[in-house]
Amino acid sequence: MGRLCQTDGLTEDQTEILKAVRTFVEEKILPVATELEHADEYPQEIVDGLKELGIFGLMIPEEYDGLGESLLTYALCVEEIARGWMSVSGVINTHFIVAYMLMRHGTEEQKQRYLPRMATGEVRGAFSMSEPGLGSDVSAVKTKALRTDEGYEVTGQKMWLTNGGTSTLVALLAKTDEGADSVYRNMTTFLVEKEPGFGEVAQGVTIPGKLDKMGYKGVDTTEMVLEGHRIAADQVLGEAPGQGFYQMMDGVEVGRVNVAARACGIANRAFELGIAYAQQRETFGKPIAQHQAILFRLAEMATKVETAHAMMVRAARMKDAGERNDVEAGMAKLLASEYCNEVVEASFRIHGGYGYSREYEIERLYRESAFMLIGEGTSDIQKMIIGRRLLEDYGLR
């Protein structure tokens, strides 16, 4: 193991968990990742292995049959998994966000009902906020939930559901009429149960099929169409309508730490591939690693990997300490995603013409890294969040 992406102050349990995950990545993910990615094949055996490791319940409290670990532990595990294949980290990311939202905002009955089965992976979560006409502008949500005598009736179209096909529980944001002046207090999160698969997966709920993407293959990304889906009032997250926007933003905040961790893992792998190839490839009678231009490039790549890792760790530790970390999570996501793309491109350049070949792993990373720039909010959105909070902190009184 190289010197990059090391984390000080870990407990013995954290160290052992990371060691087990790292071994799993080396033995079970890296040897098959590129083949499965090119085939756009769902990594079922890998997912089954993650279930055995307890990754699906990593942060779920022990009282609900999880491991009760911290966000930092989870983020470091995600970093390792993304180093092997980013799509696999996507399989557990939205599941984790839904579990986190239940832990933070769910009723005790909802926690008892879902968390133990989420810890084992029996119940798989998906997170649904985006729609065809909106991404970061959450105020433009068009999916509506109308009150009925039995609960609600939900109609609308959602977009970009990671685990849309394999999930059995979807945390879905819809507009409700709470009579509030603010649009953000007229949104509610619903816990939608469904069957795994495609087509009609519940009454009034259809998952049309997988979306064809440039990268992020293997994991199922889908639409979700709701036409008069009837749902009971006790399936409102926390049973308090009108809190959905704030619940979703809480989930996105930890999701940004997760995406930062994924970007760190991709960047670390790209560096490993680049420095290895630079010592094997010879030009003008010597390995290209001995040319100053390549040495400079490797030095810059390693520095960016280390910097992104340090910011991701800080953001996770702040959240674990119960501190507000929207600025730190935004900074970590912004920097890690941008640096990830820069490091991957630098490694791609080191590989020369072979980097363009599908036989080489760097080609896959080149396509995967682009997703880091938009997942859980674009870089521009992160800058807006950071800038507004800085004005609050440094504003003239």
Active site residues: 376
Strand partners, 128: 172
- Angle ∠(177,181,184) on CA atoms, nearest 5: 70
CA atoms within 13 A on the CB side of 26: 7
Written as six digits, the tokens of 222 are 């889908």
Lookup: tokens for 5: 């992406």
- DSSP letters spanning 229-272: EEEEGGGBGGG-TT-HHHHHHHHHHHHHHHHHHHHHHHHHHHHH
- Cβ-contact 176, 152 below 8 angstroms: yes
Of 368, 250, 256, nearest in space to 312 by CA? 256
Three-state secondary-structure class, residue 381: helix
Q: d(Cα 65, Cα 27) in Å, to the nearest integer?
A: 27
Rounded to whole angstroms, how far apart are CA atoms 302 and 298? 6
Return the DSSP state at 212.
P
208 membership: H or E segment, kind and range = none
- Under 8 Å between Cβ of 55 and 48: no
90 touches 371 (CB < 8 A): no
Alpha-carbon distance of 349 to 209, in angstroms, equals 36
Cα→Cα distances 397→321, 324, 389, 393, 394, Å: 29, 22, 15, 10, 9
Question: Using an 8 Å Cβ cutoff, are 33 and 26 in contact?
Answer: no
Return the CA Rg of the chain.
21
Select from 229, 248, 215 the least CA-distant residue to 101.
Answer: 248
